[in-house]
Structure 1
Amino acid sequence: MNVIQSILVPQISSLPHLGAHSQRIVRWLSGQRLIDAQLSTCGRLGNGMAHAIGEGARRLPYAERLPFGQPYNGLQVVTLRSIYTPTRDFLEEAGCPECRQEVGVALFESLDVWMAGVSDNFTCPECGHEDDINGFLFLQPCAFSNLAFVFNGWPPECFSPQLLEQFAERLGFPMRLVHVHD
């Protein structure tokens, strides 16, 4: 089975007030009729409960590619510290925003410390620049956070820059779109 997920992740490792933030986004999306307010069994993660795709999603760009009528079509909100990377051909390359040196090996080796919640930050081994791990540069979109919005079956081209900006405004942090395709 071909699995597509578009995952929207705020660019902060530890977003406070997860419940309030996630509920605000779900209310907004359901108010736009992009998703149903009630949960159903249309998700792929965990217990499969998700907010099904709504009729309002038909007005999104490339709406003909959306999973209307498919068993897995819903939004699942993840509130666990997680790493989001592409599943195909992920290169594990990263750069320092300060010195512009390649630091991918060291950064990805540090993820055990990040996952354990010991620190949200990574320090560049080349120049000593320290920032939230999301502040480093990645060749392929990936993200690290305790909050994510997983859209099952939704291709990334359905998320316009304007929609991503609206997400960011509501959460107070820039968003990264990670595409997972098996």
Structure 2
Amino acid sequence: MSYSQAIVVPRISTFPGHEAKARMMLRWLSERRIVEALPTTCGRGVGGMGYAIAEGARRVVLHPDRLPFGEAINGLEVVTKRCIYTPTRDFAEEAGCPECRREIGEALFESLDEWMPGQTDNFTCPECGFEDDINGFLFIPACGFSNLGFIFNGWGDACFQPAFVDEFAERLGFAVSLVVDRA
């Protein structure tokens, strides 16, 4: 099985009460048996800790046979610090302004030097002057920028059902980006 991630990111740079919301989402996911309630060494990030895949995961994806059951890295990692989520393979750094519809990727990705340390949440289109949270701009493929993120290790090829992504967003209280990374 090739390695992939499905990353759910709220479309807001600074999520209010992000740590409490992370705990609430973990409870919801573990109550539905999508992930296990206690962390184990099934993650990929620092320390390798994550929440292992559980049987309920089969109900929220289009291709349950592609889920990473039996793999050492198969868990959900919850990130509660400011992070940039982009695909790593074949990523063209393309972005567009929702107002003027022009390509502004180069300028936007250069602005991440100010976004990452939290100097700003916003970006201003160099073409028309439209300003919004960086997540308000258009990205192909999807990207996310937030202090809250949910990384499902090994789940990218299974493809979340759209209804699950919608329910996830509803529970968060914000629209989400679904970043899929395949290596």
The two structures share one fold, judged by TM-score above 0.5: yes
Q: Please list the CA deviations of residues 134-182 of structure 1 after superposition, one character each: whole Å capped at 9, or x if unmatched.
A: 0001121111111100001112543111101111111110111111111
Aligned residues: 182
CA contact under 8 A between 2:5 and 2:156: conserved in structure 1? Answer: yes
1:50 aligns with 2:50: yes
| Greater share of residues in strand | 1
> Which letter maps to 2:142?
P
Q: AA paired with 1:12?
A: I
Amino acid at match of 1:148: G
AA aligned to 2:11 is Q
Match of 1:96? 97
Alignment of 1:28-67 (within 5 A): 28-60=28-60, 61-67=62-68
Aligned to 1:139: 140
- Cα distance between partner residues in 2 of 1:138 and 1:5: 18
Distance 2:117 2:178 in 1: 24
For 1:34 and 1:139, the matched residues in 2 are separated by: 28
Equivalent in the alignment of 1:27: 27
> For residue 139 of structure 2, what is the amino acid of its counterpart?
F
CA contact (8 A) 2:66 2:155 kept: yes
1:110 aligns with 2:103: no
With structure 1 as the length reference, what TM-score do the two structures score?
0.96
Unaligned runs of 5+ residues in structure 2 are none
Q: Kindly provide the CA deviation profile for residues 101-137 of structure 1, in whole angstroms up to 9, marking residues without a partner as x.
A: 1111110110000001000000001111000000001
On the 8 A contact 1:86/1:142 being kept in 2, the answer is: yes
The DSSP-based 3-state class of the residue aligned with 2:168 is: helix
Kindly indicate whether the alpha-carbon contact (under 8 Å) linking 1:156 and 1:177 is maintained by their aligned counterparts in 2: no
Distance in 1, Cα, partners of 2:106 & 2:58: 42
1:80, CA displacement in angstroms?
Answer: 1.1
Query: What percentage of aligned pairs have identical amino acids?
Result: 60
Q: Distance in 2 between matches of 1:133 and 1:113?
A: 11
Matched residue SS, 1:28: helix
| Superposition deviation, residue 3 in structure 1 | 2.2
Cα separation, 2, equivalents of 1:153 and 1:86: 14
Cα distance in 1 for residues equivalent to 2:131 and 2:158: 33
Gaps in structure 1 of 5+ consecutive residues: none
**Equivalent residue, structure 2, for 1:72:** 73
Q: Structure 2 counterpart of 1:26, which letter?
A: L
Please report the TM-score for the alignment, with normalisation by the length of structure 2.
Answer: 0.96
